[in-house]
């Protein structure tokens, strides 16, 4: 027992900072009432779901596809295993849990799953010229038209990630043409995970495919000089949309490459629209989980989730953001979407000790500016102006109803007055 304790506590065995692939907590895994485990007919990648009976059919298909893929590449399978062997320790350190597989079993699994991902990439229609050079058309059709629609979401589950060092090594051995980053980016564009960005840097560092997509959104955020957050004093959350409107603060949509590109100017929060469907909600959950579990990475998605959680308290706030074309709600009812947003932003840790870095404080500045503006306007205006301006003048039908009611009140008063006047001053 003492030997085991000494080994587990020895500094050389602690690799927390190298972990980048984690299991989701039960709360995050069921954040929207639907489990984010790979579906029964879908995909399990890596050791966390390896050997699950419900994924056995897919596992057999992966082996069949691998045999077809390697048919014209004599000796490549052995080369893959040889090239990956020196990476075994690095691969194990990527996972937060101990992998109870032998070296041969682990490397074999990495080759099968890694080559399957590469086959998916080059079978996509956007990479079809490359796919034809390495696979027969029957396999391309089966992967692109039959399998991909069922498993595209599972490729970006945090628990399903394969280390980038594995994918890059296999790509150099089996394909080589172009770059892995380029074909992966084109693939995720084709399934509408990322928008049609231009001039994406091939030099982005990424740990796995989920991190690749996350870094693309971060890299496309509007870069501007950010003031030190010390100027704002203690970090405070901002009120919800309903309260912000009370102070005359509006939320408008603006066009940008990344939904992370949120700004605040002259009493207006400018937000790119975000399509909240099951695919995007799954991406948000997994990116937030990755940031929360990882050390020494920027918390962009976490801060964005915190912003949404602040803005949305009730279904009424979701409805207003929908009216402002900021949220496209394909997730569920307004109440269900509000609950998802509140659960996503719950108990998040934002390390302000690192907020002096420009990349990690991009929304902390906005929180400070909005709070200052809100306090100033509320102190000057009071609550009465919000009622008239936003409840009536902001909705024409309410204004018309108020006007009709006022006219009826005046007519009733006049009728009563003339009735009493005729009684007091009867005609001769």
Same domain, 204 and 275: no
Percentage of residues in the chain with pLDDT exceeding 90? 40
Same domain, 235 and 211: no
Same domain, 248 and 198: no
Tokens describing residue 358? 């420009």
Residue recorded with tokens 């990479």: 127
pLDDT at 9 over 50: no
Same domain, 376 and 402: no
Alpha carbon 418 to chain centroid distance?
A: 67
Same domain, 238 and 380: yes
Same domain, 285 and 411: no
Cα distance from N-terminal residue to C-terminal residue, the chain: 117
Query: Which of the listed residues 219, 254, 286 is the one where a domain comes to its end?
Result: 219
Rounded to whole angstroms, the Cα distance separating 414 from 9 reads 89
Same domain, 175 and 233: no
Band (48; pLDDT cuts 50, 70, 90): very high
Percentage of residues in the chain with pLDDT exceeding 70? 79
Number of folded domains that form the chain = 3
Report the length, in residues, of the chain.
428
Where is average pLDDT lowest: 20-34, 42-56, 174-188, 375-389? 375-389
Rounded to whole angstroms, the Cα distance separating 2 from 303 reads 42
Same domain, 379 and 348: yes
Helices 56-70/103-123 angle, 10° precision:
70
Q: Is the CB of residue 49 less than 8 Å from the CB of residue 160? A: yes
Minimal CA–CA distance to 188: which of 145, 126, 113, 135? Answer: 126
Alpha carbon 210 to chain centroid distance?
A: 10
User: CA gyration radius for the chain?
Assistant: 28
Q: Is position 52 within any domain?
A: yes
Alpha carbon 214 to chain centroid distance?
A: 8
Q: Is position 126 within any domain?
A: yes
| Residue-range definition of the domain harbouring residue 71 | 14-219
Same domain, 209 and 242: no
Determine which helix (DSSP H) or strand (DSSP E) holds 253, and give its type and residue range. Answer: strand 250-253
pLDDT at 164: 95
Q: Is position 4 within any domain?
A: no
Alpha-helix runs per DSSP H in 220-277: 241-246
pLDDT at 356: 41
Same domain, 196 and 322: no
Q: Is position 47 within any domain?
A: yes
pLDDT at 192: 75
pTM equals 0.82
pLDDT at 46: 93
Same domain, 90 and 205: yes
Same domain, 373 and 420: no
Q: Is position 6 within any domain?
A: no
């Amino acid at each position: 027992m003492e030997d085991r304790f000494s080994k587990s506590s020895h500094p050389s065995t602690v690799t927390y900072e190298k972990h980048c692939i984690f299991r989701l907590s039960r709360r995050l895994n069921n954040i929207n009432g639907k489990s984010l485990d790979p579906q029964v007919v879908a995909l399990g990648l890596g050791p966390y779901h390896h050997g699950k009976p419900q994924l056995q059919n897919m596992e057999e298909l992966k082996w069949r596809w691998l045999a077809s893929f390697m048919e014209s590449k004599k000796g490549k399978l052995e080369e893959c295993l040889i090239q990956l062997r020196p990476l075994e320790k690095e691969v194990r350190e990527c996972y937060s849990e101990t992998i109870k597989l032998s070296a041969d079993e682990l490397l074999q699994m990495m080759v099968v799953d890694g080559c399957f991902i590469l086959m998916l990439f080059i079978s996509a229609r956007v990479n079809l010229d490359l796919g034809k050079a390495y696979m027969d058309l029957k396999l391309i059709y089966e992967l692109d038209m039959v399998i991909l629609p069922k498993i595209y979401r599972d490729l970006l589950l945090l628990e399903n990630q394969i280390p980038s060092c594995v994918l890059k090594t296999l790509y150099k051995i089996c394909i080589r043409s172009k770059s892995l980053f380029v074909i992966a980016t084109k693939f995720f564009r084709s399934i509408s995970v990322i928008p049609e960005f231009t001039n994406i840097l091939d030099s982005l560092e990424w740990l796995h495919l989920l991190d690749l997509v996350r870094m693309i959104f971060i890299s496309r955020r509007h870069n501007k000089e950010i003031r030190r957050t010390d100027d704002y004093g203690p970090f405070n959350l901002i009120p919800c949309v309903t309260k912000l409107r009370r102070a005359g603060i509006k939320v408008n949509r603006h066009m940008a490459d990344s939904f992370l590109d949120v700004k605040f100017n002259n009493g207006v929060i400018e937000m790119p629209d975000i399509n909240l469907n099951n695919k995007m909600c799954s991406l948000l959950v997994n990116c937030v989980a990755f940031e929360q579990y990882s050390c020494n990475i920027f918390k962009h998605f976490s801060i964005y989730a915190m912003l949404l959680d602040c803005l949305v308290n009730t279904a009424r706030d979701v409805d207003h953001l929908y009216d402002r074309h900021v949220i496209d709600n394909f997730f569920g009812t307004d109440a269900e979407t509000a609950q998802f947003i509140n659960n996503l932003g719950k108990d998040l840790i934002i390390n302000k000790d690192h907020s002096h870095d420009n990349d990690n404080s991009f929304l902390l500045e906005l929180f400070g500016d909005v709070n200052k503006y809100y306090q100033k306007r509320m102190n000057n205006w009071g609550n009465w102006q919000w009622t008239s301006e936003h409840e009536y003048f902001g909705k024409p039908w309410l204004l018309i109803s108020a006007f009709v009611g006022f006219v009826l009140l005046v007519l009733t008063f006049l009728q009563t007055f003339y009735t009493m006047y005729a009684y007091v001053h009867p005609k001769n």
